[in-house]
Amino acid sequence: MAARVAWLRASIVLAVVVAVDQGVKLWVTAALERGERRDLVPLVDLVNGRNTGVAFGLLQDSAWLVGIAVGLAVAALLVFFARNAHRPALWLPVGMLLGGAVGNLVDRVREGAVIDFLKLPAWPAFNVADAAITVGVVVLFVVVELNARAEQRAGDDGAPGPA
């Protein structure tokens, strides 16, 4: 039962990430011409850019390699989650990671590239899906570590260790 609830929660997070990501991208592409840049707040620009690679513009114009890399990463994440869905809070980073992957996949299918719209100084442009992936990776490490520590404490029965 806990695993079923975890899958449902991850699916909800996935749907929210995709909806917000795609909604903002639709707004940006309607408000700005491709390649246009506007000040949003100090040190943050709103842009209408495209990225055919992965994070930070790596693997530009290598769609097949990007597709394989993303496919393998998503498959590994799904297998990991299927085996560990019962673990507390794991659904959150999994939903964020899958939502980010799906949000960017929608762009690749529709546009042939990912739509990026936030630009910080000395940082490549990015989008909500990219942010969800980045935060999702950090949260995944934290959740896995906290779960491992909790399991270790639960396994500690107070018996003395080896001499």
pLDDT digits (tens, 9 = 90+) for 133-142: 999 999 999 9
Task: Please give the share of the chain, as a percent, with pLDDT higher than 90.
Answer: 72
pLDDT band per the 50, 70, 90 thresholds, residue 98 = very high
CA 158 to chain centre: 40
Q: Do the beta carbons of residue 130 and residue 55 sit within 8 Å?
A: yes
Q: Please tell me the predicted confidence (pLDDT) of residue 130.
A: 94
Average pLDDT over residues 61-66: 73
Catalytic residues: 116, 130
Sequence-distant (6+) residues with CB within 8 A of 130 are: 55, 100, 104, 114, 116
User: Residue 58 — very low, low, confident or very high, per pLDDT cuts 50/70/90?
Assistant: low
User: What is this structure's pTM?
Assistant: 0.88
CA distance 58 to 94: 23
Q: What confidence tier does 158 reach under pLDDT thresholds 50, 70, 90?
A: low
**Span 110-121, pLDDT tens digits:** 998 899 999 999
